[in-house]
Chains A and B, each alone.
Chain A
Amino acid sequence: MYKCDMTESDKPIRMFFRKNAPVPPSGDDGFMERFAQAAGTLPDEVGDSMAVRRKAFEKARADAVRRMVLRTLLSAFVSSLAALLALAAVSASGLLALPGVPGSLLLALPAAVFLLSFSALSASASE
């Protein structure tokens, strides 16, 4: 347990600081004039323009993320469609006949990816 509150043993240190700490400068030494000069070099609307820039940056970032998601969905859609068509063709020709595996099961995976990416793409497009 640390003793941080004002105690009897704390008082001498407090007294030491009261006696030895420098008095806060008044600002009459040109400090405030220097600040006014430095601040004067900034346009009044600098705060506003910074907020506008920040908002624009956030919007651009959100757009970039959205574009990336769309690209990923589109590529999943196209590749699953291609896989689905290829498998359907192979299955129809009877070349793909694994013993004990129904042809429809082989088509199920690309069909599921196709359907999922298609529904996600439609949802994104409707936003």
Chain B
Amino acid sequence: MTREQFIRQIEREQGPLRRFLCVLCGGDAQRADDIAQEALLKAYLHYQDFSGRSRFSTWLFRIGYNCFCDSQQALRHPLPLEHAFGIPDEQPPSGRHAALHKALGCLAGAERTVVLLFYMEERSVKEIESITGMPSGTVRSHLSRARSRLRRILDDNGELL
């Protein structure tokens, strides 16, 4: 992959990656963009190692997700989602996004990641396996648990009506 091809791919993929990280960070767009910048720099340093065995976007999401995990470890005590809304932001989450963050806030970290990748980014289980490093059985069980929990939450809030 040449430098120009890499830049073209990055221009195409930065939006979905930033959206994924933003929702994963509970709506904290600033933190998500910091993580995304770090991920892009790592990708830039290693794009010559990209073998093409997976899609570029899967490779990039894996780097992004690893950066998110590192950032969570650095925080040690991740901020509860409600706190994210207290942080002044250029674009505070709208009411509709708040419903999404609220529903996802009830899920465990791994379930939230899997649900976001499956439903929001429309990735296959195989791709999620590649991005998160979880075995496909674990991905499926997280997905199954998250789905029933999500259905209950959304039913209770009347979102599915």
Binding site for B on A (CB under 8 A): 2-4, 9-10, 12-14, 16-17, 19-27, 31-32, 34-35, 38-39, 42, 46-47, 50-51
Q: Which residues of A contact B37 (CB under 8 A)?
A: 31, 34-35, 38
Chain B residues with a Cβ closer than 8 Å to the other chain, count: 40
**Which B residue's beta carbon lies closest to that of A30?**
B33
Q: Does the CB pair B150–A13 fall under 8 Å?
A: yes
Q: Does the CB pair B143–A25 fall under 8 Å?
A: no
- Per a CB cutoff under 8 Å, which of A3, A12, A32, A35 touches B160? A12
Give B97 Cβ to nearest chain A Cβ, in Å: 6
Interface residue B147 (Cβ < 8 Å from any Cβ of A)? yes
Q: Does the CB pair B154–A31 fall under 8 Å?
A: no
Given A3-B144, A10-B147, A20-B97, A25 and B15 contact (CB-CB distance below 8 Å): yes
Interface residue B84 (Cβ < 8 Å from any Cβ of A)? no
Interface residue B81 (Cβ < 8 Å from any Cβ of A)? no
Binding site for A on B (CB under 8 A): 10-11, 14-16, 18-19, 22-23, 33, 36-37, 40-41, 44-48, 93, 96-97, 99-100, 103, 118-120, 125, 139-141, 143-144, 147, 150-151, 154, 159-160
Q: Which residues of B contact A42 (CB under 8 A)?
A: 41, 44-45
**Which A residue's beta carbon lies closest to that of B151?**
A13
Q: Does the CB pair A2–B23 fall under 8 Å?
A: no
Q: Does the CB pair B99–A20 fall under 8 Å?
A: yes
Q: Which residues of A contact B16 (CB under 8 A)?
A: 24
**CA–CA, A20 and B96, complex, Å:** 5
Give A46 Cβ to nearest chain B Cβ, in Å: 7
Given A10-B147, A47-B46, A21 and B18 contact (CB-CB distance below 8 Å): no
Q: Which residues of B contact A50 (CB under 8 A)?
A: 45
What are 13 inter-chain pairs, A to B, with CB distance below 8 A?
A3-B144, A4-B139, A4-B144, A9-B151, A10-B147, A12-B160, A13-B151, A16-B154, A23-B19, A25-B18, A31-B14, A31-B33, A38-B41
**Which A residue's beta carbon lies closest to that of B97?**
A22
Q: Does the CB pair B44–A39 fall under 8 Å?
A: yes
Q: Which residues of A contact B141 (CB under 8 A)?
A: 2
User: 5 additional contacts, CB 8 Å, given A12-B151, A22-B22?
Assistant: A13-B154, A16-B100, A16-B103, A21-B19, A51-B48
